[in-house]
Amino acid sequence: MFTDESQYTDDTVLTIAVADCILNQKDYAETIKKYGNNYPYAGYGGNFIRWLAGEITGPYNSWGNGSAMRVCPIAYISDDEKLVLEEAKKSAEITHNHPEGIKGAQAVTLAIFLARNRKSKEQIKHTIEKKFNYDLSRHIDDIREIYKFDVSCQGSVPEAIIAFLESTDFEDAIRTAISIGGDSDTIACITGAISQAYYQSIPNDLIIKAKQKLPANFNEIINQFEQQYSIRY
Protein backbone atom coordinates (compact mmCIF):
# COMPACT_ATOMS: atom_id res chain seq x y z
CA MET A 1 0.00 0.00 0.00
CA PHE A 2 2.88 2.38 0.70
CA THR A 3 6.31 2.93 -0.81
CA ASP A 4 9.00 5.51 -0.12
CA GLU A 5 7.68 7.42 -3.14
CA SER A 6 4.07 7.52 -1.90
CA GLN A 7 2.81 11.06 -1.34
CA TYR A 8 -0.41 12.93 -0.79
CA THR A 9 -2.10 14.50 -3.81
CA ASP A 10 -4.57 17.25 -4.62
CA ASP A 11 -7.40 15.14 -3.20
CA THR A 12 -5.86 15.30 0.27
CA VAL A 13 -4.95 18.99 0.11
CA LEU A 14 -8.44 20.08 -0.89
CA THR A 15 -10.25 17.70 1.46
CA ILE A 16 -8.26 19.22 4.33
CA ALA A 17 -9.21 22.65 3.03
CA VAL A 18 -12.91 21.79 3.14
CA ALA A 19 -12.55 20.36 6.65
CA ASP A 20 -10.82 23.60 7.71
CA CYS A 21 -13.71 25.60 6.24
CA ILE A 22 -16.23 23.61 8.24
CA LEU A 23 -14.29 23.70 11.51
CA ASN A 24 -13.51 27.41 11.36
CA GLN A 25 -16.43 28.81 9.33
CA LYS A 26 -14.15 29.89 6.50
CA ASP A 27 -15.08 30.82 2.95
CA TYR A 28 -14.79 27.89 0.53
CA ALA A 29 -13.33 29.77 -2.43
CA GLU A 30 -10.84 31.78 -0.41
CA THR A 31 -9.67 28.83 1.69
CA ILE A 32 -9.40 26.30 -1.16
CA LYS A 33 -7.45 28.82 -3.20
CA LYS A 34 -5.11 29.43 -0.26
CA TYR A 35 -4.45 25.71 0.27
CA GLY A 36 -3.95 25.15 -3.45
CA ASN A 37 -1.39 27.92 -3.69
CA ASN A 38 0.37 26.80 -0.50
CA TYR A 39 0.73 23.27 -1.89
CA PRO A 40 1.15 23.92 -5.63
CA TYR A 41 2.67 20.59 -6.70
CA ALA A 42 -0.10 18.21 -5.61
CA GLY A 43 -1.33 17.40 -9.13
CA TYR A 44 -4.22 19.75 -9.86
CA GLY A 45 -6.10 19.92 -13.15
CA GLY A 46 -5.30 22.55 -15.74
CA ASN A 47 -8.32 24.79 -15.24
CA PHE A 48 -8.01 24.58 -11.47
CA ILE A 49 -4.38 25.72 -11.73
CA ARG A 50 -5.53 28.70 -13.81
CA TRP A 51 -8.22 29.41 -11.18
CA LEU A 52 -5.58 29.29 -8.42
CA ALA A 53 -3.44 31.74 -10.39
CA GLY A 54 -6.34 34.16 -10.87
CA GLU A 55 -6.39 33.64 -14.64
CA ILE A 56 -9.94 32.33 -14.20
CA THR A 57 -12.16 34.34 -11.88
CA GLY A 58 -15.22 32.67 -10.45
CA PRO A 59 -16.52 29.20 -11.27
CA TYR A 60 -15.65 27.73 -14.64
CA ASN A 61 -18.50 25.30 -15.36
CA SER A 62 -16.40 22.21 -14.63
CA TRP A 63 -17.87 18.70 -14.59
CA GLY A 64 -14.58 17.26 -13.34
CA ASN A 65 -14.29 15.06 -10.27
CA GLY A 66 -12.47 17.74 -8.26
CA SER A 67 -15.77 18.68 -6.63
CA ALA A 68 -16.36 15.08 -5.55
CA MET A 69 -12.86 14.32 -4.28
CA ARG A 70 -12.82 17.15 -1.72
CA VAL A 71 -16.37 16.97 -0.39
CA CYS A 72 -16.33 14.15 2.17
CA PRO A 73 -16.11 16.24 5.39
CA ILE A 74 -19.48 17.79 4.59
CA ALA A 75 -21.27 14.46 5.11
CA TYR A 76 -20.57 14.78 8.85
CA ILE A 77 -21.80 18.27 9.59
CA SER A 78 -25.44 17.40 10.24
CA ASP A 79 -27.98 14.60 10.48
CA ASP A 80 -30.19 16.60 8.12
CA GLU A 81 -29.83 15.12 4.62
CA LYS A 82 -31.15 18.21 2.89
CA LEU A 83 -28.68 20.45 4.72
CA VAL A 84 -25.62 18.35 3.84
CA LEU A 85 -26.65 18.19 0.18
CA GLU A 86 -27.09 21.97 0.08
CA GLU A 87 -23.66 22.41 1.66
CA ALA A 88 -22.11 19.99 -0.83
CA LYS A 89 -23.51 22.13 -3.62
CA LYS A 90 -21.99 25.26 -2.07
CA SER A 91 -18.57 23.64 -1.82
CA ALA A 92 -18.72 22.44 -5.43
CA GLU A 93 -20.03 25.49 -7.23
CA ILE A 94 -17.12 27.79 -6.38
CA THR A 95 -15.37 26.02 -9.27
CA HIS A 96 -17.50 23.10 -10.49
CA ASN A 97 -20.84 24.77 -11.18
CA HIS A 98 -21.72 22.45 -14.08
CA PRO A 99 -24.73 20.26 -13.12
CA GLU A 100 -22.57 17.12 -13.32
CA GLY A 101 -19.92 18.67 -11.06
CA ILE A 102 -22.54 19.49 -8.44
CA LYS A 103 -24.24 16.11 -8.88
CA GLY A 104 -20.97 14.25 -8.30
CA ALA A 105 -20.24 16.13 -5.10
CA GLN A 106 -23.76 15.57 -3.80
CA ALA A 107 -23.74 11.87 -4.69
CA VAL A 108 -20.52 11.28 -2.76
CA THR A 109 -21.80 13.28 0.19
CA LEU A 110 -25.05 11.35 0.31
CA ALA A 111 -23.30 7.98 0.04
CA ILE A 112 -21.09 8.86 3.01
CA PHE A 113 -24.04 10.32 4.91
CA LEU A 114 -26.05 7.12 4.45
CA ALA A 115 -23.06 4.93 5.31
CA ARG A 116 -22.34 6.73 8.57
CA ASN A 117 -26.01 6.45 9.46
CA ARG A 118 -25.71 2.67 9.20
CA LYS A 119 -27.68 2.13 6.01
CA SER A 120 -27.04 -1.12 4.16
CA LYS A 121 -25.11 -1.28 0.91
CA GLU A 122 -28.33 -2.12 -0.91
CA GLN A 123 -30.03 0.94 0.57
CA ILE A 124 -27.09 3.14 -0.40
CA LYS A 125 -27.04 1.72 -3.92
CA HIS A 126 -30.79 2.14 -4.42
CA THR A 127 -30.84 5.70 -3.04
CA ILE A 128 -27.91 6.94 -5.13
CA GLU A 129 -29.26 5.31 -8.31
CA LYS A 130 -32.71 6.78 -7.79
CA LYS A 131 -31.60 10.29 -6.82
CA PHE A 132 -28.68 10.75 -9.22
CA ASN A 133 -29.43 8.28 -12.02
CA TYR A 134 -26.02 6.61 -11.78
CA ASP A 135 -25.76 3.02 -12.99
CA LEU A 136 -24.40 1.10 -10.00
CA SER A 137 -25.44 -2.34 -11.26
CA ARG A 138 -22.16 -2.92 -13.11
CA HIS A 139 -19.36 -5.06 -11.67
CA ILE A 140 -15.73 -4.14 -11.05
CA ASP A 141 -14.42 -7.11 -13.07
CA ASP A 142 -16.34 -5.82 -16.11
CA ILE A 143 -15.37 -2.18 -15.54
CA ARG A 144 -11.70 -3.10 -15.21
CA GLU A 145 -11.65 -4.60 -18.71
CA ILE A 146 -12.71 -1.42 -20.47
CA TYR A 147 -12.02 1.46 -18.09
CA LYS A 148 -9.83 4.36 -19.16
CA PHE A 149 -8.58 7.52 -17.50
CA ASP A 150 -11.61 9.75 -16.93
CA VAL A 151 -11.60 12.89 -14.78
CA SER A 152 -15.32 13.60 -15.16
CA CYS A 153 -17.68 13.13 -12.24
CA GLN A 154 -19.99 11.02 -14.40
CA GLY A 155 -17.08 8.82 -15.47
CA SER A 156 -15.49 8.23 -12.07
CA VAL A 157 -17.92 8.79 -9.19
CA PRO A 158 -20.16 5.79 -10.07
CA GLU A 159 -17.07 3.58 -10.44
CA ALA A 160 -15.79 4.69 -7.03
CA ILE A 161 -19.14 3.90 -5.42
CA ILE A 162 -19.23 0.47 -7.09
CA ALA A 163 -15.75 -0.27 -5.71
CA PHE A 164 -17.13 0.40 -2.24
CA LEU A 165 -20.25 -1.69 -2.84
CA GLU A 166 -18.16 -4.72 -3.87
CA SER A 167 -15.61 -4.39 -1.07
CA THR A 168 -15.31 -6.57 2.03
CA ASP A 169 -13.45 -4.11 4.28
CA PHE A 170 -11.64 -0.78 4.10
CA GLU A 171 -8.34 -2.05 2.69
CA ASP A 172 -10.11 -4.22 0.15
CA ALA A 173 -12.11 -1.17 -0.94
CA ILE A 174 -8.96 0.85 -1.60
CA ARG A 175 -7.27 -1.98 -3.49
CA THR A 176 -10.42 -2.58 -5.53
CA ALA A 177 -10.70 1.09 -6.43
CA ILE A 178 -7.08 1.28 -7.56
CA SER A 179 -7.37 -1.95 -9.54
CA ILE A 180 -9.57 -0.44 -12.24
CA GLY A 181 -6.95 2.16 -13.19
CA GLY A 182 -7.90 5.61 -14.40
CA ASP A 183 -7.75 8.59 -12.04
CA SER A 184 -6.73 6.29 -9.21
CA ASP A 185 -6.03 8.78 -6.43
CA THR A 186 -9.44 10.39 -6.81
CA ILE A 187 -11.36 7.15 -7.24
CA ALA A 188 -9.64 5.67 -4.18
CA CYS A 189 -10.25 8.90 -2.25
CA ILE A 190 -13.99 8.70 -2.87
CA THR A 191 -14.18 4.95 -2.28
CA GLY A 192 -12.16 5.30 0.90
CA ALA A 193 -14.35 8.05 2.29
CA ILE A 194 -17.51 6.00 1.85
CA SER A 195 -15.83 2.85 3.14
CA GLN A 196 -14.50 4.50 6.28
CA ALA A 197 -17.99 5.75 7.11
CA TYR A 198 -19.50 2.32 6.43
CA TYR A 199 -16.97 -0.04 8.02
CA GLN A 200 -15.79 2.39 10.72
CA SER A 201 -12.57 0.41 10.81
CA ILE A 202 -9.19 1.07 9.19
CA PRO A 203 -6.10 -1.03 9.95
CA ASN A 204 -3.97 0.93 12.40
CA ASP A 205 -0.77 0.47 10.39
CA LEU A 206 -2.43 2.17 7.41
CA ILE A 207 -3.48 5.12 9.58
CA ILE A 208 0.03 5.52 10.98
CA LYS A 209 1.74 5.29 7.59
CA ALA A 210 -0.72 7.67 5.93
CA LYS A 211 -0.39 10.30 8.65
CA GLN A 212 3.40 10.09 8.46
CA LYS A 213 3.11 11.27 4.86
CA LEU A 214 1.16 14.41 5.81
CA PRO A 215 2.26 17.87 6.94
CA ALA A 216 1.73 18.50 10.65
CA ASN A 217 -0.98 21.09 10.05
CA PHE A 218 -2.98 18.56 7.99
CA ASN A 219 -2.91 16.12 10.87
CA GLU A 220 -4.00 18.87 13.24
CA ILE A 221 -7.08 19.57 11.09
CA ILE A 222 -7.83 15.83 10.85
CA ASN A 223 -7.60 15.39 14.63
CA GLN A 224 -9.77 18.42 15.31
CA PHE A 225 -12.37 17.28 12.80
CA GLU A 226 -12.50 13.74 14.17
CA GLN A 227 -12.99 15.05 17.70
CA GLN A 228 -15.60 17.60 16.69
CA TYR A 229 -17.72 15.08 14.80
CA SER A 230 -16.90 11.92 16.80
CA ILE A 231 -15.58 10.07 13.76
CA ARG A 232 -14.66 6.45 14.40
CA TYR A 233 -12.29 4.13 12.60
Summarize pLDDT for 199-218 with one digit per residue, the tens. Answer: 999 999 999 999 999 999 99
Contact 182, 150 (CB under 8 A): yes
What does DSSP assign to residue 152?
B
> pLDDT value at position 74?
98
pLDDT band per the 50, 70, 90 thresholds, residue 90: very high
Distance CA 173, CA 171 (A): 5
- Reply yes or no on whether the pLDDT at 31 is more than 90: yes
CA distances from 183 to 44, 65, 154, 208 (A): 12, 9, 13, 24
**pLDDT surpassing 90 at residue 179:** yes
Report the pLDDT value the prediction gives residue 59, as an integer from 0 to 100: 98
The percent of residues above 90 in pLDDT, for the chain, comes to 98
Residue 232 in this model has a pLDDT that exceeds 90? no
Q: How confident is the model at residue 194 (pLDDT cuts 50, 70, 90)?
A: very high
- CB burial of residue 212 (10 Å; 0-12, 13-18, 19+): exposed
The mean pLDDT of 167-178, rounded to a whole number, is 98
Angle (CA) 201-171-122 rounded to 5° is 75
pLDDT band at 227 (very low <50, low <70, confident <90, very high): very high
Global pTM value: 0.97
pLDDT digits (tens, 9 = 90+) for 39-79: 999 999 999 999 999 999 999 999 999 999 999 999 999 99
What are 94-146's pLDDT values in tens digits?
Answer: 999 999 999 999 999 999 999 999 999 999 999 999 999 999 999 999 999 99
Question: What's the pLDDT band for 233 if we cut at 50, 70, 90?
Answer: confident
Q: Domain 59-228 classified CATH 2.40.50.140? A: no
Q: According to DSSP H, which parts of 117-169 are helical? A: 121-132, 140-146, 157-165
Residue ranges of domains in the chain: 59-228
